[in-house]
Amino acid sequence: MTKIQIYDTTLRDGAQGEGVNFSLQDKVLIARRLDEFGFDFVEGGYPLSNPKDAEFFQRIAAEPLKNSRVCAFGMTRRKGVKPADDPGMKALLESQAPVITIVGKTHDFHVTEVLRVSLEENLAMIRETIAYLREMGRDVIYDAEHFFDGWKANPAYAAKTIQAAVEGGAMIVVMCDTNGGTMPEEIAAITKEAAVAVSVPLGIHTHNDCELAVANSLAAITAGATHVQGTINGLGERCGNADLISVVANLALKKKGYEVLDGGSVEHLTELSRYVYEIANMHFRINQPFVGPSAFAHKGGMHTHAVARVSKSYEHISPEAVGNERKILVGELSGRATIQMKLSGTTTDAALLERVLKQVVELENRGYQFEAAEASFDLLVRKAAGTYQPHFELQHYHVDVETDGDGRTTTEATVKLRIGDEVRHEVAEGDGPVNALDAALRKALNGRFPNLRGLQLVDYKVRVINSDAGTAAAVRVVIESRDADGTTWGTVGVNENVIKASWDALVDSIEYKLCKGAAT
């Protein structure tokens, strides 16, 4: 088994992605979670760039990580400045990080036209920077920026730059596909050539501008690299970095002969992926390989029928291997096998399955979707089976929205219901029509259904279905609800009137909760 070192740069390279902004506490939380997973290296940031990164290293130094080695990122010394006098070197040493990652120029074009130094001075900057940090007791990883472009343009000089890093004392040389434009076959070939030029292990750092960051990382590892850098969920500048979730999953489950992280960590990759999304306040990438909510979702009737018999017929691994789960989606492409799987195989009533399928197709034609509204689907099945008994009957509702001359808006909803032999008539204010309706409905049901107290609405989405109709277009409303025990479910309503669509989704949410409570 070949051990592959996993180096995470979510907190630095990932933070450069558009829309990503980690607080100091966010960075500490993510670093500690990566440490729990057994990542070999966690790069905390560039201490010279901002006070937040500098403070991060002080926080970690006060309470060190247990499994991962913390890395501080920096650049080679400035032109004409001794390393000991360079502010960047001082900041790196003050970080107290045991490992320092230094980035330097590989491509001769960047040396002369961007950095504007001689080729020999660049070699000295690399060698002297690393040698100084080694003298100060730090281990050094060298990131060779624009490595593959530089190697293709001038392989002799590119080789000299990484040799200078080794002469200075770098323990690992990392080949960076900085522009993300290199093809996998080029990565593999150049990695083999670079391995001949240096005597230390090689690493790979790729960007995703051609949608090849993971493929390129794996190509380099196949060619001999034993260290891979990337970010959780592929966060990063432009199109992002190599997604370490996919890199680790592929090395652990698909490629043979490689050892990564701790033995049981791979089974929790979905948890790690979603943890970082939550900390970053970002939506999950629904079709993300291995860990996305749709990674093992099946909708087509032929697919679901086959998966019901043999799961590997349409799944390359078991979802549980990465902590994910299988989803069976109901839609117009579904067959009876799909409906039966959604019902967990609890019925073989062909007539019922046919009725449910017919209603699903009809409703989807009107704009309904049940993929994120499984509670509404559950109620649909109960109605088709004749087992559904509504807990209340609507007689009337009214919503009034008023705006005064100063632009202040007030919303009031009135709801009139029949619950058994009793008629309840309630009014409530809210922060909008749906909130007011929800409040009035809760008041009307109050006292009769105490198990509704723990129910919360946690998300509300509206989507126009037929935009060609303009303001008369039908809309689809999806409401996500959460129970006191943390259970969540979705409901859906469709109508040309957004209030009516919202009401239908709202009632489904409450009825599902009441039916669920009755069943338990």
Whole-angstrom distance, CA of residue 60 vs CA of residue 27: 10
| Together in a domain, 128 and 252 | yes
Q: What's the Cα-to-Cα distance from 373 to each of 275, 291, 504, rounded to whole Å?
A: 23, 21, 12
Contact status, residue 330 vs residue 323, Cβ threshold 8 Å: no
> Domain for residue 292, yes or no?
no
Same domain, 195 and 67: yes
Question: Are 378 and 246 in a shared domain?
Answer: no
Q: What is the CATH number of the domain that holds 226?
A: 3.20.20.70
Q: What's the domain range around 513?
A: 366-391+455-520
Quote the pLDDT of residue 302. 62
Residue 126, in any domain of the structure: yes
Boundary residue ending a domain (339, 360, 381): 360
Number of domains in the chain: 4
* Assigned domain for 290 exists: no
DSSP codes of every residue in 56-115: HHHHHHHS--SSSEEEEEEEPPPTT--GGG-HHHHHHHHTT-SEEEEEEE-SHHIIIIII
Q: Is residue 427 part of a domain?
A: yes
How many angstroms separate the CA atoms of 249 and 45, rounded? Answer: 25
What local confidence, expressed as pLDDT, does residue 333 receive?
Answer: 47
pTM summary value? 0.74
Same domain, 386 and 397: no
Can you tell me the distance from the alpha carbon of 391 to that of 114, in angstroms, rounded to the nearest whole number? 72
Residue 12 shares a structural domain with residue 156: yes
Q: At what angle do helices 24-37 and 269-279 cross, to 10 degrees?
A: 170
Contact criterion met (CB below 8 Å) for 312 and 296 = no
Is residue 284 assigned to a domain?
no
In angstroms, the CA 497 to CA 433 distance is: 12
Residues near 32 by beta carbon (within 8 Å), at least 6 away in sequence? 65
CATH code for position 387? 3.30.160.340
Q: Are 304 and 310 in contact (CB under 8 A)?
A: no
**144 domain-assigned:** yes
Q: Are residues 223 and 348 in the same domain?
A: no
* pLDDT for res 520: 43
Q: Does residue 12 share a domain with residue 117?
A: yes
**DSSP-H helix ranges across 118-183:** 119-135, 147-153, 155-168
| Residue 332 pLDDT | 47
On whether both 352 and 435 belong to a single domain, the answer is no
Q: Are residues 43 and 189 in the same domain?
A: yes
pLDDT (0 to 100) of residue 417? 94
Do residue 212 and residue 317 come from a single domain? no
Cβ-in-10-Å burial (0-12, 13-18, 19+) of 32 comes to: middle
Q: Are residues 77 and 144 in the same domain?
A: yes
Asked, for residue 60, whether it belongs to a domain, the answer is yes
* Regions of the chain short of the pLDDT cut 70: 263, 299-311, 328-348, 467-472, 518-520
In a domain, 288, yes or no: no
Q: Mark whether 10 and 117 lie in a shared domain.
A: yes
CATH number at residue 444: 3.30.160
